[in-house]
């Protein structure tokens, strides 16, 4: 039972969500000790040991540290409901991801700018990637050093991962030592957001060093219920903590950093969205913005897996000896991020940039790790990184604690299936290369019996899952579908911004954590009025 009494406090900024973007903003804005910030995080529990051990990330799935969303039946995937993990703790999904540091392709950002997101070209966002980064290799090829986010080469590489990179070379995919140099194509080893063999989440990098500042209040277990408005201005946020209602007033601005699911959901609950859908739920319309919740994108992936004839896979990662090695030296298989190696390729020669990314795991990685086939194995996961299909998020009800309705419409565009089918075929070719001869056993997925395009498409529709990269639901731009402008201000109201993966107009070609951190770094710079970050119109 909620308390009827509402308690009120006032801050300069109220930030909703302590995920990657929220951690960045809280830390950067409170560097000015005259600026007060309230950071609201719905997750209650303290971050568990599994957040620190790289190889243990999937153990957090479907626990109290995970929002554990599920899609509605997907029309192109035989009506299957897809699992959508999202971190529910300080650091958000950066505390339970595979730690891969990928900026995306320069073409992604140049396309954003060309289509209305002025100031977001690759040349313009590069300084904010550099600002965030502490690159272990040094300031080479556009990298940064001295930033909060540690980026390192892996301290452990399984022999199967080395075989994958060699197999790629054997089928014509060249070696690439740095996917973030501006030249993305090729095969190589992923750099990771780790520090000395330990996960280095956005909370580790940004929030925890700032947590003792007197001008920063960070609350766990604080669930935002709605944004408060006074006519056309945002005045604050109502939230619930310990069954008591609170109002946080924002003297300057409210910033939503609740992610591509949480941010649009809160906007809709607060009356910002399509009048037709809001009115049907009895929600008073504050701002008519039809684009809220639309433009949902993610990276669908479908795996190819083989048995391994030698007992060298990560099935051995959780032995007592491995735990002792990790505890003593922060080395060994528990340092693995599972997806140790990868590649970026074009599914057809005329593509402007890579549209398929491979994630190689020296282990069976089936159904998010929930299915564990017997014995040792390895997995090659072709991932569609330039999808054309678009989905939508809507409200299930006007109750803030009810999960939203999510339908990605994944692979509804024929070109998406064609590209992913090409990726599955290439994954099989890589798995059949000579580099794997001494390791490769029988094909577990899709299985030797699947030979025709029709059979492989059936395999894709029955096994495809998402790679944990939802974005686009509060699109940035200037057209009618845009929810925020290029300075991330919600259109039609003052004092309200969104800064997370939801503002991406189109999904980047690669893992989305580094770009989300970049987005928050750029907004923090804008709000601080720093030169070179663009102008900021003060909320009035």
Q: Which amino acids are annotated catalytic?
A: 469
**DSSP states of 114-181:** HTT-TT-SHHHHHHHHHHHEEETT-S-TT---SSSEEEB--S---HHHHHHHHHHHHTT--B-S-TTS
> Kind and range of the H or E element at 348?
none
In the chain, % helix, strand, coil (3-state, to 5) comes to 30, 25, 45
Q: Is the CA virtual torsion 134, 137, 138, 139 positive or negative?
A: negative
Pairing of strands 496-498, 244-256: parallel
Spatial separation of the C-alpha atoms in residues 253 and 498, rounded to whole Å: 11
Residue 286 CA to residue 232 CA, distance in Å, equals 8
Residue 466 three-state SS: strand
Sign of the CA dihedral 152, 17, 49, 374?
A: negative
Give the number of other CB atoms < 10 A from CB of residue 487: 18
- Identify which of 52, 54, 36 has the alpha carbon closest to the alpha carbon of residue 89: 52
Collapsing DSSP states into helix, strand and coil, what is residue 64? coil
User: How far is the CA of 263 from the CAs of 453, 471, 472, in angstroms?
Assistant: 39, 11, 11
3-state secondary structure of 109: helix
Q: How far apart (Å, rounded) are the C-alpha atoms in residues 172 and 157?
A: 22
45-49, long-range: CB < 8 A, 24+ apart: 45/89, 45/220, 46/89, 46/220, 47/89, 47/90, 47/91, 47/95, 47/203
Write down how long the chain is: 540
Cα–Cα distance for residue pair 512/19, rounded to 1 Å: 13
Q: Closest by alpha carbon to 23, among 82, 87, 85?
A: 87
- Of 35, 9, 16, give the one whose Cα is nearest residue 249: 9
Q: How far apart are the first and last CA of the chain?
A: 37
């Amino acid at each position: 039972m909620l308390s009827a009494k509402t308690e009120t406090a006032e801050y300069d900024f109220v930030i909703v969500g302590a995920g990657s973007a929220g951690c960045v903003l809280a830390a950067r804005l409170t560097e000015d000790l005259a600026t007060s910030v309230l950071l609201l995080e719905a997750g209650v529990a303290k971050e568990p040991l599994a957040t620190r051990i790289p190889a243990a990330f999937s153990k957090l799935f479907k626990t109290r540290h995970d929002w554990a969303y599920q899609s509605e039946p997907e029309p192109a995937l035989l009506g299957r409901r897809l699992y959508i993990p999202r971190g529910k703790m300080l650091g958000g999904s950066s505390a339970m991801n595979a730690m891969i540091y990928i900026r995306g392709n320069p073409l992604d950002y140049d396309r954003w700018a060309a289509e209305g997101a002025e100031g977001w070209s690759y040349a313009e966002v590069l300084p904010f990637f550099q600002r965030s980064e502490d690159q272990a290799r040094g300031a080479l090829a556009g990298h940064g050093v001295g930033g909060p986010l540690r980026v390192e080469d892996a301290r452990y590489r399984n022999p199967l991962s080395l075989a994958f990179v060699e197999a790629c070379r054997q089928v014509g995919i060249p070696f690439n030592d740095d996917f973030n140099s501006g030249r993305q194509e090729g095969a190589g080893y992923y750099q990771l957001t780790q520090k000395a063999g330990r996960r280095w989440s956005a909370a580790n990098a940004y929030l925890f060093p700032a947590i003792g500042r007197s001008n920063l209040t960070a609350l766990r277990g604080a669930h935002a219920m709605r944004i408060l408005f006074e006519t056309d201005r945002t005045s604050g946020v109502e939230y619930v903590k310990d069954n008591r209602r609170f109002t946080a007033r924002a003297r300057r601005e409210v910033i939503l950093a609740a992610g591509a699911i949480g941010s649009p959901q809160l906007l809709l609950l607060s009356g910002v969205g399509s009048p037709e859908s809001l009115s049907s739920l009895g929600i008073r319309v504050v701002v008519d913005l039809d684009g809220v919740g639309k433009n949902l994108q993610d990276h669908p992936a479908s795996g190819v897996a083989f048995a391994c004839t030698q007992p060298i896979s990560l099935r051995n990662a959780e032995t007592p000896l491995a735990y002792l090695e990790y505890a003593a030296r922060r080395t060994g298989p528990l340092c693995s991020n599972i997806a140790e190696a990868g590649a970026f390729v074009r599914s057809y020669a005329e593509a402007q940039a890579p549209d398929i990314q491979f994630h190689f795991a020296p282990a069976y990685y089936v159904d998010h790790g929930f299915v564990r086939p017997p014995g040792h194995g390895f997995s090659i996961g072709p991932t569609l990184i330039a999808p054309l299909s678009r989905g939508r998020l809507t409200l299930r009800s006007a109750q803030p604690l009810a999960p939203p309705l999510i339908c990605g419409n994944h692979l509804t565009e024929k070109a998406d299936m064609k590209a992913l089918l090409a990726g599955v075929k290439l994954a099989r070719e890589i798995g059949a290369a000579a580099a794997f001869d001494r390791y490769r056993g029988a094909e577990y997925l899709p299985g030797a019996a699947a030979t025709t395009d029709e059979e492989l498409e059936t395999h894709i529709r029955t096994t495809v899952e998402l790679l944990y990269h939802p974005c686009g639901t509060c699109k940035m731009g200037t057209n009618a579908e845009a929810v925020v402008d290029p300075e991330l201000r919600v259109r039609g109201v003052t004092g309200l911004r969104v800064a997370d993966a939801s503002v991406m107009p189109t999904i980047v070609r690669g893992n989305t954590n580094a770009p989300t951190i970049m987005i928050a770094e750029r907004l923090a710079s804008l709000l601080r009025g720093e030169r070179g970050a663009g102008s900021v119109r003060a909320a009035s």
